[in-house]
A and B are shown apart, each in its own frame.
Chain A
Amino acid sequence: MSAPKTLYDKIWDNHIVSINDDGTTILYIDRHLVHEVTSPQAFEGLRMSGRKVRRPEFTLATADHNVPTMDRDKGIADPDSKLQVETLERNARENNITYLPMSDKRQGIVHIVGPEQGFTQPGMTIVCGDSHTSTHGAFGALAWGIGTSEVEHTLATQTLIQTKAKNMCIKITGEVMDGVTAKDIILAIIKKIGTAGGTGYVIEYTGDVIRNLSMEGRMTVCNMSIEAGARAGLISPDEKTWEYLKGRPLAPSGVEFETAIRYWQSLATDEGAQYDEIVEIKADEIIPQVTWGTSPEDVVSIDGYVPDPKNASSDEKKRSIERALDYMGLEPNTPINEIEVNKVFIGSCTNGRIEDLRAVSKIAKGRKVEKNVHAMIVPGSGLVKEQAEKEGLDKIFIEAGFDWRDPGCSMCLAMNADKLKPQERCASTSNRNFEGRQGRGGRTHLMSPQMAAAAAIKGKLTDFRDL
């Protein structure tokens, strides 16, 4: 019998095309998602070298970063954004790649579209020129972000030259308190291991807390693996995964679906398999989390305080806290729940799914957005938007004073018209609080959808459980 393997080991082994003389592996890529920002130079590279897309049918393209979230019938106003989207459209057409245009209700953020269409399946290798490709790991697919050179390599060969990463297991033990979400769990993980803690690893998330998460919640956790430094995060697939996939347009159907389930079940980490690193996190200690600074590891509980650089463990840490406080316009030792916001962004590949919007609607129902706050809700895809409207969530949002938009990446990275103005402070369900991320000089606090909704209503960061 062969040695026990992890989920990662198995997917890796199942995709080895060959091993090069230098020890690197040519790894087969089952599926490739493409968006407009990181692909034009890759297609251009193919054209210049006279190469073709090897497997256009394994590739799916949509525009998400540059698309407007309102007045879509007027098209894209910014000429550079427009050109980038048109370039993707042309490249997809010329290479026979399925493209979901802005006018298609299935258009949305690639990492929401892939799972929705059943494009994402367990055991697959999936890449995209986008670091949040780690999201798809929620299905037990090995999925990671790549640069444009590797996008070109994947288009031309349907493979990548890779070196295997190490195995890390993050085990969440205990039970979560009511109101603690997948977002709080992943923020707590990043607080513990830091933004470089997962560098060089693929993380597998295990434990009952992860098992009990919905597919949407699992996607939120895997999505931010990259903020913990890991290129990929994985969760072993189970009944919830099959249930989610069943009947999706690109998922296997009929008898073949049953055959696929048997294969998917065989992927789980074997008993006795070795991880290079095991991290344990107690769920009982987690309460709603928010970030105070400019790195996703600058995490604090909602009942906590802005840190004081005087207490920093090193000079370097002190400098970095001072820089973050200065950028964020915060004083040391301020109670977190006294920080006022004037913007709220609910959406992104981290928290733009239907479950997130349902959670927001529960907070919004019968309440009003604070008068000094502009709060926008951007569904992750046209299908999420359609479902939300079917359930009447849009009416609750609009009634409460939220701005209900069309799908896209929007203010997660502010490549379209949705951005913070200098010094505006935003409660955001996105994934990065870097300087300038949501607009130059803008100040981002990351949190769960419930917490962002509560911030919209109170006009300051607040524990939504106290509303």
Chain B
Amino acid sequence: MEKFNKLTGNAIPLRITNVDTDMIIPKQFLKTIKRTGLGEYLFFELKFDQDGNKIDSFELNQDQYKGANILIAGKNFGCGSSREHAPWSIADYGIKCIIAPSYADIFYNNCFKNGILPIILDEETVAKLQDSAENTLNFNIDLEKQNITYLENNEQKEITFEIDPVKKKCLIEGLDDIGMTLNKSSSISDFENNQAKETPWLYRSKII
């Protein structure tokens, strides 16, 4: 899995709550059989109108946010479907960190499988950061120290965040969790042998 440790860059304020997975990556782009190349379709229907013209008011289309690698959004980000195409498109676009007051469970979980750090901060702090993002060039995100630092009006600011230590470790080390689980194959076999005794009907092989 992709690692995440430190990140420096500018941030896009996206002042929408309940950003859903259909908004992040519309279904016409789910027909791919690859993980890559989805970045250009990120927020496609917010970026372009129905005639294919750029919507200038949308932040991702604005010059000042070109190359940004952080997204600051409203609460319940990533609600909706389980499509991992959502974090794939975000990562492929170049965004490696999201800051929001809350996330939908499946999306949140999917981020960690793709080297994206989803930071949770209270609504007030997120709103303040969205304002700062309009004028601040560089936010420094340090997962090890669990802080965000930036310079605003010549003043050094620091915001700390909480994160589950297991998830933190996964991102920092970029662990291959399938490989780790496969190391426990004998435990899995033991479980199966035991379960086959307790609930044998689960192990009847039937062809349908």
Contact = CB atoms under 8 A, between A and B. Distances in A.
Contact of A28 (B22, B164, B188): B188
A153 B180 CA distance: 10
Contact of A66 (B31, B75, B76, B178): B31
Contacts of B1: 149
Contacts of B47: none
Nearest to B200: A256
A145 B82 contact: yes
A123 B83 contact: no
A436 interface: yes
Nearest to A156: B178
Contacts, number: 185
A414 B27 contact: yes
A432 B84 contact: no
Interface string B19-40: 0101100111011111100000
Contact of A37 (B83, B114, B202): B83
Q: Which of A98, A147, A257 has the most CB of B within 10 A?
A: A147
Given A28-B188, A145-B82, A415 B30 contact: yes
Given A156-B178, A157-B178, A148 B81 contact: no
A57 interface: yes
Contact of B33 (A17, A41, A415): A41
B178 A51 contact: yes
A30 B201 CA distance: 11
27 contacts: A28-B195, A37-B30, A38-B83, A40-B33, A41-B33, A51-B182, A54-B188, A65-B30, A84-B31, A87-B33, A106-B208, A117-B208, A124-B202, A129-B84, A130-B82, A147-B113, A153-B178, A156-B181, A157-B188, A159-B188, A195-B76, A199-B76, A199-B103, A231-B106, A249-B208, A319-B15, A434-B22
Interface of A: 17-18, 22-24, 26, 28, 30, 37-38, 40-41, 44, 49, 51, 54, 57, 65-66, 78, 80-81, 83-84, 87, 98, 106, 117, 121, 123-124, 129-131, 133, 145-150, 152-153, 156-159, 161, 163, 195-196, 199-200, 226, 229-231, 249-250, 252, 256-257, 259-260, 263, 295, 316, 319-320, 323, 413-415, 422, 432, 434-437, 440-441
